[in-house]
Structure 1
Amino acid sequence: MVVSLGIAKLLTGLVGFVQHPTRAKTYGVHLAWSASMLLMLVHFWWWEFRLSHLHGWHFATYAFVVYYAVMFFALCALLFPDNVDEYDGYEGYFHSRRRWFFGLLAFTFLLDFVDAAIKGQGRLLELGIEFPIRNVAYIGLCITAAFVRNETFHRVFAGGNLAYQVYWIHRTYETLS
């Protein structure tokens, strides 16, 4: 349910650009992170689907998954506020909120470690050494992005993130039976 709210927030925001093309100036980095969050939400749902194999669900596990989903919803809400009238379009807005956005995004990669552990040692071994390296690298990049406004860095990070997500999802899930 919370994942659906995040997807709805993103889609409403993106369709708003079509509905009102002159209301607020778009920003490529913001659009890339919006597409990335949409992919992350779909990926999150698929990742959490594996919890159906977990025996002995407890309320704490359920509450953790809901809390994890709430973090993704918060990221979507940060990408698409009710309005950006007080900013010079989405570029000004995005950079004014980048510490919140990238701080929460870094936190989701910490939560990812807990989530993988819930699925068991077998799942952690299946993910291999790339999983912790990926998460630690993302945490570092997010912390950097929170404090650096360099346009080239943000473009490369947003584009590279989107490409890597597609690569990770394809490799990780196209081989599952």
Structure 2
Amino acid sequence: MDDVTSDSSESSQEVMATKSVFVTVGTTSFDELITCMSSEATLQLLRNLGYNKLVLQIGNGRVVPESFTSASFSLIVYRFKNSLKKDLKRSDLIISHAGAGSCLEALEEGKPLVVVVNEKLMDNHQLELARQLHKEGSLFYCTCSTLLELLKSADLSSLKPFPPGKPEIFSEFLDKVMGFKK
């Protein structure tokens, strides 16, 4: 697999999708999330929920699911692109690791966001960030072990849009969550 997949090579794998999920782990490795999202149980749940396309941005992970396209579903896998903007815009649901940059990019698109916290990280500021953004109604958060249940039961339409175009609000919010400001 190439380290960077361009949009032109992706288009040959694309199916006429009407409902799409985009998963991003940023530059990190979060193999547990990629394994969970590419499992047959998750793929079946996504089909049952009306999705017909799943795009996995796997970063530096060791788990590399096989891309495929069938008559009813498409799975596209890549490591990195220069920008995730097109994938974020094309998606109907974004599932992300809890990295601040990835959360901000997803929230700016105004799409439903589910953040999956990596429980294996020490000193987990990701959990604090996810909790606070959930409390404000901007996203849902879970762990890999609770992701399928959340996808089955969450009312994605209940999420509130994050104020667009004001990264300073997010910076101030992060500073408070991290304890840099009171």
Higher helix share: 1
Higher strand share: 2
TM-score > 0.5, shorter chain as reference: no
TM-score (norm 2): 0.28
Query: Looking at CA atoms only, which structure, 1 or 2, has the larger radius of gyration?
Result: 1
Task: Give the number of the structure with larger relative contact order, counting CA–CA contacts within 8 Å between residues 6 or more apart.
Answer: 1
TM-score (norm 1): 0.29
